[in-house]
Structures are given as C-alpha cells and as structure tokens.
C-alpha cells in the first residue's frame, strides 16, 4: 500500500470513528442540554441543543429539592452507601474465592469452580423471590442492608476474571514466600493482593457501575421514599397523572452521572490492563 493510500485510509478511518463517537455520545449531550432548558421547552425544542429560555437554576434547585419531602441528596447518599459497601465486600470476597481456586489445593476444587461458573447462567430475576422471602423473615425489607447483601459476597464473573489473572502469576513467587515462612494467608496479602491490583480495580469499576445503576433490586426490596436509591428516585420526577418535572429529572440525571464518570476517569488506565493482562509485565 502506497503512502498516499495509507494516508487516505487513516483519514477515512478517523472520520468514521468520529461520526460513530458523536452518535454514541449524542444522547448524553442531549440530556445535559435538556437540563439547561425550561421545563416547557424540553420537548417542544427537542431538536436544538441550545435553549431559548434558560432554566438551569430552576431545574437544578427543584430537582435537588427532591420528591415527597426527601431531597435528592438523600437519594445520592443511599446509592453511595450501597455502591461503596457492596463493591468493597464483593470485590474482596471474589478475590479470596479466586485465590482459593487458583492457588489452594482442596478436594473437588474443579467441580466447585464449575458450579460457581454455572451461576453465570442464572438470571438475577430468578434469585429475587428466595432473596425476598429470606430478607422478609430477617426483617431486612425496606433497608439498605437488603440491597448490599446480594452484592457483598462476590460475583461469579469477578471470580472468573481474578482466577485467570492469578493463574498468570508465577508460582515461583509463592514458593519463595513459603521458604521465607509465609502461609497461605501471608501469600495472599503480601504477594497476590499487591500484584492483582489491575484485576481488583477493573472489578471495582464494573461492580460500582452495576450497583449504582441497579433498578430492579431496589424496586423489589425498598418501599419507603426515604430509602430510595438514585435509580428509583429519578422515576419519581415523572408522573403521567399530574405534573412531570422533566427539567429536574434531566438535571438530577446529570448529577447522578458525576460519581460514575469520576470513577472511570480516575481508574480508566487500569480497566484495559486488568482485562488484557494475564501475567506479570517484564
């Protein structure tokens, strides 16, 4: 391929990727632009990203005021508590299980690993009924605890991801640690935990995203408005039988995106490394 052909190929490729990128990000841009518009203009002037009447202050103030006497700050706090605790517990539980499957020899380890991987084929919706019955008997319904527990004890996807990563670490490190007097827990905390940082951060990002945007479990387990998470709270701004605060809805949607965007920007370099790395880099 000549130099001119390569140049035109590069230009065409970047032009196509730019168009696709704009198409993918346009819904987000439209949502942000809609949060700046007056409530009555959002769907009347929906094709324009630039508002004729700016309703920024009104939208964000009315949205932050919340619904039913509960401010949006409370909804953000509920989501933050569930996402942070659920992510920390889930990632650590998955890492410990992955270490056991990848490094510890025990009876029927391959069989139990297959059993764990089989749970990937079970939809979350199937587990809701037994979980609801259990939480009802434990008097945990309508509490944040009922939202944390299903995420706290690990995920088959994260276990698989971490098992593959840990298996890529040289066994010589474990043997050297054993010679120095380290037991299984010592190897876990001193060798595996530091070296598995990319896989841990990747799992943390995915777990935080999934918990933050989860709608189904809060819908089933939570009934009082004060305990609502962000995903449920945003639905309160829409009322087909009376006034729908679309401006507040889009404004709070933008605010609810800030934590997940911040997490991505801080840890984005670990995302690809955690998925792609299968061993130590030289």
Residue 278 above 70 pLDDT?
Answer: no
Is 213 domain-assigned?
A: yes
Range of the domain at 261: 31-41+51-279
| Tokens read off for 164 | 């593959």
Kindly state the average pLDDT of the residues 61-71.
87
Distance CA 262, CA 52 (A): 30
Q: What is the CATH number of the domain that holds 211?
A: 1.10.3720.10
Residue 281 above 50 pLDDT?
Answer: no
Distance CA 247, CA 239 (A): 13
Q: Give the least confident one: 5-9, 60-64, 197-201.
A: 5-9
Is 19 domain-assigned?
A: no
Is 140 domain-assigned?
A: yes
Is 3 domain-assigned?
A: no
Rg over CA atoms, the chain? 24
Q: Say which residues have a Cβ less than 8 Å from residue 264's Cβ, sequence separation at least 6.
A: 205, 271
Kindly state the average pLDDT of the residues 172-184.
85
CB 202 within 8 Å of CB 270: yes
The angle at the Cα of 52, spanning 49 to 53, to the nearest 5 degrees, equals 115
In the prediction, which pLDDT does 171 show?
86
CB 101 within 8 Å of CB 253: no
User: pLDDT digit string (tens) for 197-218?
Assistant: 888 988 898 999 999 999 999 9
The structural domain count of the chain equals 1
Distance CA 156, CA 162 (A): 10
Would residue 49 be called left, alpha or beta, if left means φ above 0 and alpha means ψ between -120 and 50 degrees?
Answer: alpha
Is 1 domain-assigned?
A: no
Distance CA 277, CA 275 (A): 6
User: pLDDT digit string (tens) for 12-23?
Assistant: 888 999 999 888
Distance CA 86, CA 121 (A): 22
| Tokens read off for 237 | 């701004």
Is 266 domain-assigned?
A: yes
More confident residue, 223 or 51: 223
Is 240 domain-assigned?
A: yes
Angle between helices 246-276 and 3-34 (to 10 degrees): 140
DSSP class per residue in 67-116: BTTB-HHHHHHHHHHHHHHHHHHHHHHHHHHHHHHHH---TTHHHHHHHH
In the prediction, which pLDDT does 277 show?
52
CB 216 within 8 Å of CB 125: yes
User: pLDDT digit string (tens) for 131-156?
Assistant: 999 999 999 999 999 999 999 998 89
Is 70 domain-assigned?
A: yes
Phi/psi for 217 (5° steps) reads -65, -45
Residue 253 above 60 pLDDT?
Answer: yes
Kindly state the average pLDDT of the residues 68-84.
92
| Tokens read off for 271 | 């995302």
User: pLDDT digit string (tens) for 152-170?
Assistant: 998 899 999 899 888 888 8
In the prediction, which pLDDT does 279 show?
43
């Amino acid at each position: 391929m000549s130099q001119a052909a390569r140049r035109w190929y590069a230009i065409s490729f970047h032009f196509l990727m730019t168009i696709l990128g704009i198409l993918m990000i346009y819904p987000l841009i439209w949502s942000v632009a809609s949060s700046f518009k007056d409530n009555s203009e959002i769907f009347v002037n929906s094709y324009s990203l630039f508002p004729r009447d700016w309703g920024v202050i009104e939208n964000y103030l009315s949205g932050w005021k919340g619904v039913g006497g509960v401010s949006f700050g409370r909804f953000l706090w509920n989501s933050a508590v569930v996402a942070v605790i659920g992510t920390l517990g889930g990632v650590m539980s998955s890492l410990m299980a992955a270490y056991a499957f990848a490094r510890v020899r025990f009876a029927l380890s391959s069989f139990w690993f297959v059993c764990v991987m089989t749970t990937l084929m079970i939809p979350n919706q199937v587990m809701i009924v037994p979980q609801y019955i259990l939480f009802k008997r434990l008097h945990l319904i309508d509490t944040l605890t009922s939202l944390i527990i299903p995420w706290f004890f690990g995920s088959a996807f994260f276990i698989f991801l971490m098992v593959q990563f840990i298996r890529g670490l040289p066994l010589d490190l474990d043997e050297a640690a054993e010679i120095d007097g380290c037991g299984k827990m010592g190897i876990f905390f001193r060798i595996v935990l530091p070296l598995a940082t990319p896989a841990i951060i990747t799992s943390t990002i995915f777990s935080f995203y999934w918990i933050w945007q989860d709608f189904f479990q809060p819908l089933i387990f939570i009934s009082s408005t004060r305990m609502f998470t962000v995903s449920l709270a945003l639905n309160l701004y829409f009322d087909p039988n009376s006034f729908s605060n679309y401006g507040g809805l889009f404004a709070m949607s933008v605010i609810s995106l800030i934590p997940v965007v911040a997490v991505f920007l801080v840890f984005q370099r670990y995302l690809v490394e955690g998925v792609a790395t299968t061993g130590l880099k030289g």
